[in-house]
């Protein structure tokens, strides 16, 4: 599957009100949980447990918090674009402007790594990053992600 196949308009957010790493992760977990009838606190706990092992702030203003969760049977992706930037304790110390949350079934390790790789490859392209940062709608994002 292509990266675009995992995107849903109701899970793409253009928001400058999130103030920190935990706040933004909670916001995205809550959104996924609300739409897909999942346990938001479980999702948040699993992502923060993974985050405690090593930051998912990749640097270059990008963060990809993620977790593999036993109770999931499919992948979930949510994206937050924040022009102000969020302190994600990134490897380069820079705030994250694009946060992509990936939740995966625990048993699908290979697919999880493959999808993480696709997300990272896509986001670390400076042109893609700038286009995403300047986008204003789900349709804009679909056009940018089309080939991925």
Count Cα neighbours of 118 within 13 Å in the Cβ-side half-sphere.
Answer: 18
Per-residue confidence (pLDDT) for residue 105, from 0 to 100? 98
User: CATH number for the domain including 120?
Assistant: 3.40.930.10
- The count of domains in the chain is 1
Selection from 146, 2, 145 nearest residue 79 by Cα: 145
Mean pLDDT by 10 residues, the chain (148 residues): 90 89 97 98 98 94 98 97 94 95 98 96 94 94 88
Domain span at residue 102 reads 3-145
Selection from 36, 43, 8, 7 nearest residue 22 by Cα: 43
Per-residue confidence (pLDDT) for residue 133, from 0 to 100? 95
């Amino acid at each position: 599957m292509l990266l675009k196949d995992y995107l849903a308009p109701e899970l793409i957010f253009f928001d400058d009100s999130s103030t920190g790493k935990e706040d933004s992760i909670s916001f995205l977990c809550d959104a996924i949980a609300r739409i897909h009838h999942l346990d938001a606190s479980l999702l948040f706990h699993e992502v923060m447990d993974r985050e405690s092992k090593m930051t998912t702030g990749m640097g270059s203003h990008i963060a990809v918090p993620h977790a593999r969760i036993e109770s999931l049977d499919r992948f979930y992706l949510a994206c937050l674009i924040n022009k102000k930037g969020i302190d994600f304790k990134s490897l380069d110390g820079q705030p994250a402007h694009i946060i992509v949350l990936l939740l995966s079934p625990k048993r699908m390790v290979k697919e999880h790594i493959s999808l993480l790789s696709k997300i990272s490859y896509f986001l670390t392209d400076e042109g893609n990053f700038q286009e995403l940062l300047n986008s204003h709608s789900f349709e804009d994002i679909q056009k940018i992600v089309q080939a991925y």
